Amino acid sequence: MNLTSTCHGREDFLRLMKFLLVEDNLDLANAITSRMRLDGHVVDHAAKLDDATAYAEVEEYDLILLDIMLPDGDGREFLARHRASDLDTPVIVLTARSQVSDRIGSLDMGADDYVTKPFDHAELEARCRAVLRRKSGNAKSRIEVGGIVFDPVAGHFSVGGRDISLRNRELRLMELFINAPGQVFSKQKLADRLFTYDDNVSDNAIEVYVGRLRKHLEASDLKITTLRGLGYRLDHDG
């Protein structure tokens, strides 16, 4: 039994974020792209500044991930041009430079944030989330279904009109479920997505978070079903 509600005219409420990744190292680009697609995002990849400019002119992106050192120029030039062109697409710089010297350049040039290579994907995701939250007014991340209103970017969650404040991991768990309704998530998969690799996660921890979320969803038409030996699934009672 699948959810059939719509959200802002979209067929499903997969909250698609559209990223432009500007990175000349193909291996790294592939790794980032595949990881982001795993989260259900759309990623366009440009390996050169020219391509990046062309992409940015045609498409509208939610966020640009920009490498600084590119074969045909400095990523900061792109950043400066981008800022001059009145586009307010947030930019997160991927840099291999030292954190001390780097801060001077990229943030002053108008980047919204930066991550130092090699980065923790969870950190990159957290930074994207934070940047998008700062650039609020991004109403398309709002999801209404089964009596809840959920905005993963703004971190807003309400059930039956009553606001509930979610902890960060509860929020991300909710996001995972609601972006893939009807899909079964194993405990391990959930743990991989919610925790960084160096947190020592017990199965119990996942149960605790699922339990809390279940409690929040009591007043709604949504519920989290346990499939013994397989994992969890979000169902719509409607």
Partner 1 sequence: MTDSPTVSGSLRNRLVLTLIGGAAILAILLFLAVRSYAARVAQQGQDNILSASVASILDAAAIRDGQLEIDIPYAAFSMLTTPSDDRVFYAIYQDGAFISGYDELQVDEPVAQANWTFQSTEMRGESIRQVNAGRTLVGLGKQTQIEVALGQTQDALSQTMDQISRNAAFLGIGFFLLAACLSFWVASTTIGQLNKLTTSVTRRGPQDLSPFRKPVPREMAPLVTSLNSLMGRLDQSLGQSEDFIAEAAHRVRTPLATVRSYAEATLHRVERKENREALRAMVRAIDESSRAAGQLLDHAMITFRADHLEREDIDLVVLTKDLVQRLTPIAEMRELTLSLTGARAVPYSGDPILLQNAVRNMIDNALKYAPVDSTVVIDVRADPNVQIKVSDAGPGFPSEEIDMLTRRFERGQNATGTIGSGLGLTIAQDVATAHGGTLELSNKPEGGACVILSL
| CA-closest candidate to residue 106, choices 84, 70, 62, 75 | 75
Q: How far is CA 60 from CA 11, 20, 21, 24, 91, in A?
A: 20, 9, 13, 21, 13
Q: Cα–Cα distance between 106 and 113 in angstroms, integer?
A: 8
Which C-beta is closer to partner 1: that of 104 or that of 227? 104
* H helix or E strand, kind and range, residue 157: strand 156-159
Taking CB under 8 A as the rule, which mask of x and - marks residues 67-106 in contact with partner 1? Answer: --x------------------------x-xxxxxx-xx--
User: Where in 102-161 is the site for partner 1 (CB under 8 A)?
Assistant: 103-104, 113, 116-123, 126-127, 129-130
Which C-beta is closer to partner 1: that of 44 or that of 67? 67
Among 14, 16, 28, 201, binds partner 1 (CB under 8 A): 28
Q: Look-up: residue for tokens 């062309």?
A: 54
Q: Cα–Cα distance between 35 and 234 in angstroms, integer?
A: 23
Nearest distance, CB of residue 35 and partner 1, angstroms? 5
202 binds partner 1 (CB under 8 A): no
Nearest distance, CB of residue 56 and partner 1, angstroms? 22
Which C-beta is closer to partner 1: that of 87 or that of 201? 201
Q: How far is CA 199 from CA 170, 190, 205, 210, in A?
A: 16, 13, 11, 18
Among 10, 81, 167, 215, binds partner 1 (CB under 8 A): 167
User: Any idea what DSSP says for residue 87?
Assistant: -
The residue ranges that bind partner 1 (CB under 8 A) are 25, 27-28, 31-32, 34-35, 38, 69, 94, 96-101, 103-104, 113, 116-123, 126-127, 129-130, 167-169, 188-189, 192-193, 196-199
